[in-house]
Chains A and B, each alone.
Chain A
Amino acid sequence: MAQENVSMKENDMAQTGFEPRILGFFCHWCCYAAADSAGVSRYQYPPNVRVVRVMCTGRIDTRFILEAFKCGADGVFTGG
């Protein structure tokens, strides 16, 4: 059900044509690893995220987040 909703929304969005630019900060041990493993399993997800790898989410500074928005990010996804 949840997945259906998501894909329906995606269709709606495709019409508006807006492709957000999102910067991700991924923890090496957790989220980055999960993202790799998503790749190994060939799961598919939208190609809007660019990733900065950090050793731990604790590394992430408020400055980084603000700088990302300043540099044109429409969203910042931090993943621990």
Chain B
Amino acid sequence: MAETCRQFLKDCGVDPERMSLEWASAAEAPRFVELITGYVSKIKDKGPLGEAEGEEEREKLIRHLKAGVKAAQARKPRTALGTLSKKLHKEGNFSKEAITEGVKAKILPALRSERILQEIKMLLSEGALSLDELSKEVKAEKEEVEKHLSTLSKKGTVKEETGKWSMA
């Protein structure tokens, strides 16, 4: 879960270090205090969300996240997460490498693709945009955007007119 979050946060334009996963047992109050204090100070250093990310428009970041939440709800990426967890569990392999690689290869692509799709829909419902503009706005390669656009247009959800895409 944590690794998926980290990789996907990065994809959404959020510094993954803003999320931390720490362990403190019930008996480790001093450790807890140390962790929390250190973490708050780290986030203070990074500044408000968006600042350390160098994202000039906070709105854009929030859009990535909104689409991200939808993506994390979608069945495909969730199945990918479940399947990977099941596999690692079965193999008893909880090494950092296996998790990082697994998430990178299996889960992140599914989440990313779903996020891009959601974001295209969100953007186009607000107005027509060119492929270049879309690709810049959703933080994705043109090819990735094109793939979704072609599927969506086949379904009749979107249409292209004079180089600009809009909802059909």
- Check A49–B35 contact: CB distance below 8 A: no
* CB of A60 closer than 8 Å to a CB of B: yes
Task: Give a binary string over B19-62; 1 marks a CB under 8 Å from any A CB, 0 the rest.
Answer: 11111111111111111111111111111110000000000001
By size class, the interface of chain B is 35 or more
Tell which of B18, B20, B62 has the most Cβ of chain A within 10 Å: B18
Question: Chain B interface mostly helix, strand, loop or mixed?
Answer: helix
When distances are taken between beta carbons in the complex, the residues of chain B under 8 Å from A58 are 1
- Check B21–A78 contact: CB distance below 8 A: yes
By size class, the interface of chain A is 35 or more
Which of A6, A37, A74 is in CB contact (< 8 Å) with B37?
A6
- Of the stretches B7-15, B140-148, B151-159, the one at the interface is B7-15
- Check A34–B26 contact: CB distance below 8 A: yes
Which of B4, B18, B27, B35 is in CB contact (< 8 Å) with A62?
B4
- Check B69–A66 contact: CB distance below 8 A: yes
Which residues of A approach B to under 8 Å, CB–CB? 2, 6, 9-10, 13, 16, 18-20, 22, 29-31, 33-35, 37-38, 40-41, 43-46, 48-49, 57-58, 60-63, 65-67, 69-70, 72-80
Which residues of B approach A to under 8 Å, CB–CB? 1-2, 4-5, 8-9, 12, 14, 18-49, 62, 65-66, 68-69, 72-73, 81, 111
